[in-house]
Amino acid sequence: MAKNKNGSANSAGNTNASSSVDELLLAALERGDDSFETGRYLVTFKDGAGDQGLQSLGTQGMRVADARDFDGQAATLENIGDADAVVFPEIGVALIGGNAAQERSMGAQMEIASDSPIEIIEPEHFVFAEQFFREAAYLSATKTNGNGSNGGGVNEYLRGFLEATDTITKHLQHGKGYTEVDELDEETMVLGATWGLNVCKVPPSLRSGLGIRVAVLDTGFNIGHPDFVGRPIIGATFVGQPVQDLHSHGTHCIGTACGPKSPAGTTPRYGIGYRSSIFAGKVLSNTGSSVGGSVLAGMNWAIANRCPVISMSLGGTGGVQAAYTAAGQAALNNGCLIIAAAGNSSGPTGYPANSPTIMSVASLDMSLSPSSFSNFGKVDIAAPGRDVFSSAPMPRRYTTMSGTSMATPHVAGCAALWAETSPNMRGLTLWRRLQASAKRLPFSTARVGAGLVQAP
């Protein structure tokens, strides 16, 4: 039985299943607890007991929303009305509001009967685009110590994050977009392919990702980007904002995983699965923040739509969470593979990549050495993550970014090419192929896993 690390199972309260990310962030600051918890709970049901679990929540008097009642199972938390809970049937997980849990004395410390359909109850946590984890952590440390040398606790981190989002919002309001990395040096652009695609052996590959659905769960996508005209794109939002990407993180990741083979002019090739079908799931807001429930809703949607490749450049710092592990296993059971960023805090791999059922990706520099920021520990494979050139929302069109966020879509794109080679190349078989074909590197598996991902 998992326990709330604060030892207070029901200290949350004042949160609903439909609360927005901003409301949950402010509630967390008001509580002042030492965690990244939102105040809501994730209930993971025993294998095959999802429907029984849904019924059990109903018998406790909860108003329960079912993702199957939404088109394509694209359940948006903002649209569940006054429901106390929402169930994601593909992955066997339910999100419960803090108020509803408190009224029923439910929480992470609750004893669970042996005949209950519930496997575990965990606190829901905040999730961030990997780029912003470093930004907010820096602001947190600076605010507390004045020199940026040490972290300042979770509350200072959250305050730092809110300050970071204010900065991002101002950039967006002035039409500048946002990136924490260097501007593209136009003089370096030549015909050919990016360094990342070259070291992954993408250009000589005869595969294009044709017929493969690639889901990228991120900040959305710049619908109408000229490099993607005519491409099949399915969008869904899980954060109460349009799929249109006002951030740039999601558009950049989709560009690497699914971008064109021959961009206009002298622009080098930056995309891998150029004939794949794009499923753009907006699970991070335009300021790069989110919560576990929105991310899981996106994972449920991608699996329900049987996307063989699911790319997630997001996460948080903390231990393995059962809900993500259940989602990863559900993906494998349905011929899908979830690929996630290990994280950029130079520490242990964070969630959801630390789940044993989710492929974890570390970042490499141009020298094929592990990037200084790349997390370590549970790492399954590595890919180019430093100075990665890809698409950006218009009018900018292109930009360069760094992070395990950028390494992850390299693996996702190569996975799409491998998936095209055979209808049997799915799920765990695809996972093993990616690792078996990786280029070995002279570093520990804790830093680079099986090595550098390679295209077929």
Q: Is residue 218 among the annotated active site residues?
A: yes
To the query of whether residue 372 is one of the catalytic residues in this protein, the response is: no
Per-residue pLDDT tens over the stretch 49-104: 999 999 999 999 999 999 999 999 999 888 888 999 999 999 999 999 999 999 99
Q: Is the pLDDT of residue 135 over 60?
A: no
Please give the pLDDT value at position 309.
Answer: 98
Residue 152 has pLDDT above 50, yes or no: no
Q: What is the pLDDT of residue 170?
A: 52
Among the listed ranges 27-41, 212-226, 404-418, which one has the minimum average pLDDT value?
27-41
Among 313, 345, 355, 405, the one annotated catalytic: 405
Q: Single out the catalytic residue among 33, 66, 84, 218.
A: 218
- Is the per-residue pLDDT at 171 higher than 80? no
What's 35's DSSP letter?
S
What pLDDT is stored for residue 156 in this prediction? 59
Question: When comparing pLDDT for 325 and 8, which is higher?
Answer: 325
Residue 39: the pLDDT is 92
Which residues lie closer than 8 Å to 200 by C-beta, 6 or more apart?
272, 383, 384, 410, 414, 452, 453, 454, 455
DSSP, residue by residue, 372-406: TT--BSS--EEEE-SSEEEE-STTT-EEEE-SHHH
Of residues 316 and 2, the one with the higher pLDDT is 316
Please state, in angstroms and rounded to a whole number, the distance separating the CA atoms of residues 312 and 77: 19
More confident site: 330 or 154: 330
SS3 (DSSP) at 281 = strand
pTM of the model: 0.87
pLDDT at 168 over 70: no
* Under 8 Å between Cβ of 285 and 78: no
At 179-189, the pLDDT tens digits run 333 334 433 34
What's the pLDDT at 162?
58
Lowest-confidence region among 29-38, 135-144, 313-322, 351-360: 135-144
- State the first-to-last Cα distance of the chain, in angstroms, to the nearest integer: 43
**Active-site option among 225, 247, 249, 252:** 249
122 within 8 A of 131, measured Cβ to Cβ: no
| Higher local confidence (pLDDT), 354 or 164 | 354
Structure tokens at 254: 């989709």
List helix spans (H) across 231-362: 249-258, 292-304, 322-333
Contact present, 72 and 304 (Cβ < 8 Å):
yes
Minimum mean pLDDT range among 2-6, 49-53, 76-80, 309-313: 2-6
Q: Tell me: pLDDT of 308 over 70.
A: yes
Q: What percent of the chain has pLDDT over 90?
A: 70
What average pLDDT does the chain have?
86
Q: Is 33 a catalytic residue?
A: no
pLDDT of 366: 96
Q: Report, as an integer, the average pLDDT of 5-21.
A: 63
Residue 260 preceded by cis peptide, ω within 30: no
pLDDT digits (tens, 9 = 90+) for 175-211: 443 333 333 443 334 459 999 999 999 999 999 999 9
